[in-house]
């Protein structure tokens, strides 16, 4: 009997040097669509900013899923921008509309981050990271942005507050590392990106998915994708809880369609006794 399977779509930070080659080979039309949506090829500039990284990773994830034979699985989930890839793969969202939303999302988040000025993110790593992150964030008026695993959490906000917060983390036995990003993603500092993204979502057609998709904002199945996708700009990515939800639903096999192996790595740190598969 086949194992109950969850298909996972990664977010920013999962890019790899060879991901464009996969898209060009497996989904050349999707690459053409990405160039049109962004205004240039996003792949060579994927490391420069979220406006290029998001459409590049979205395309690479769908190409990875295609290369695996388009597995439907029993559930799907996406980390941050990966939610849009999961909704496309599940049949809830047209691929072209999904790509246009991703390109807009990346641009708006980049612009909002630059307009806010002093926003950034840092990662907490080590045993107890998920337990201590909320108290560190609250003490320094910061936000838990990505609850990735019990040993890895990303905190977001005004980077002028980072030195004191990172010092507290060190006192608690955690490692802290500032990330090379252009804004305080998944925090209130992204509020400027929300109105235009909401308008685009209001004009987007969503259908009932063929496979249940779990929202990383609620760690439960999507019920209102327009609201949940808009909320995802300023609210935390509850990835650790999403993995626990999938396990509770019965998932025994977790497939990361890539690029990279970020999500199977996080699943390994969160779950035990499950099968992990990479594209």
79-101 pLDDT, tens digit each: 999 999 999 999 999 999 999 99
CA dist., res. 189 & res. 274, Å (int): 37
Average pLDDT of the residues of the chain: 96
145-199 pLDDT, tens digit each: 999 999 999 999 999 999 999 999 999 999 999 998 889 999 999 999 999 999 9
Would you identify the CATH topology of the domain 119-178?
Answer: Alpha-Beta Plaits (3.30.70)
What are the residue ranges spanned by the domains of the chain? 5-115+187-278, 119-178
Residue 142: strand, helix, or coil = coil
Give CATH superfamily name and number for 5-115+187-278: Malonyl-Coenzyme A Acyl Carrier Protein, domain 2 (3.40.366.10)
Q: What pLDDT is attached to residue 2? A: 73
CA dist., res. 232 & res. 156, Å (int): 14
- pLDDT of 34 strictly over 70: yes
Indicate yes or no: pTM above 0.85.
Answer: yes
- pLDDT of 217 strictly over 80: yes
| 58 against 12, higher pLDDT | 58
Q: What pLDDT is attached to residue 59? A: 98
What b-and-e string marks burial along 55-80, b requiring 16 or more CB atoms within 10 Å of the CB?
bbbbbbbbbbbbbeeebebbbbbbbb
Q: What pLDDT is attached to residue 1? A: 61
Q: What pLDDT is attached to residue 3? A: 86
Beta bridge partners of 154: 123, 146
Contact indicator for 50, 90 with CB cutoff of 8 Å? no
Q: State mean pLDDT over 115-140.
A: 95
Q: State mean pLDDT over 10-23.
A: 94
C-alpha dihedral (235, 237, 238, 243), degrees to nearest 10? 160
Q: State mean pLDDT over 50-57.
A: 97
- Give the residue numbers annotated as catalytic, written as ranges: 80, 186
> Residue 221 CA to chain centroid, in angstroms?
16
CA dist., res. 169 & res. 130, Å (int): 12
Q: State mean pLDDT over 209-235.
A: 98
Q: If you write DSSP's letter for every residue of 198-212 in order, what string do you get?
A: HHHHHTS-B---SSE
54-72 pLDDT, tens digit each: 999 999 999 999 999 999 9
Contact indicator for 46, 81 with CB cutoff of 8 Å? no
Contact indicator for 56, 82 with CB cutoff of 8 Å? no
């Amino acid at each position: 009997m086949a194992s109950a399977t969850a298909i996972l779509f990664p977010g920013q930070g999962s890019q790899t040097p060879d991901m464009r080659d996969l898209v060009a080979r497996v989904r050349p039309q999707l690459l053409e669509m990405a160039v049109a949506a962004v205004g240039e090829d996003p792949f060579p500039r994927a490391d420069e900013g979220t406006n290029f990284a998001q459409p590049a990773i979205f395309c690479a994830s769908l190409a990875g899923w295609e290369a695996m034979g388009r597995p439907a699985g029993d559930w799907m989930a996406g980390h941050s921008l990966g939610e849009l890839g999961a909704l496309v793969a599940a049949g809830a969202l047209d691929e072209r509309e999904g790509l246009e939303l991703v390109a807009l999302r990346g641009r708006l988040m980049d612009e909002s981050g630059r307009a806010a000025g002093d926003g950034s993110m840092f990662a907490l790593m080590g045993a107890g990271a998920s337990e201590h992150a909320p108290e560190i964030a609250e003490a320094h008026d910061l936000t838990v942005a990505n609850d990735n695993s019990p040993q890895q959490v990303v905190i977001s906000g005004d980077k002028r507050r980072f030195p004191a917060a990172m010092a507290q983390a060190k006192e608690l036995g955690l490692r802290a590392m500032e990330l090379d990003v252009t804004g305080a993603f998944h925090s209130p500092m992204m509020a400027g990106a929300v109105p235009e993204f909401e308008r685009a979502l209001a004009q987007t057609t969503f259908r009932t998915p063929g496979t249940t998709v779990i929202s990383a904002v609620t760690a439960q199945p999507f019920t209102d994708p327009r609201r949940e996708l808009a909320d995802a700009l300023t609210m935390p990515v509850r990835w650790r809880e999403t993995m626990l939800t999938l396990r509770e639903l019965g998932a025994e096999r977790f497939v990361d369609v890539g690029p990279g192996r970020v999500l199977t790595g996080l699943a390994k740190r969160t779950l035990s006794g499950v099968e992990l598969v990479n594209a």
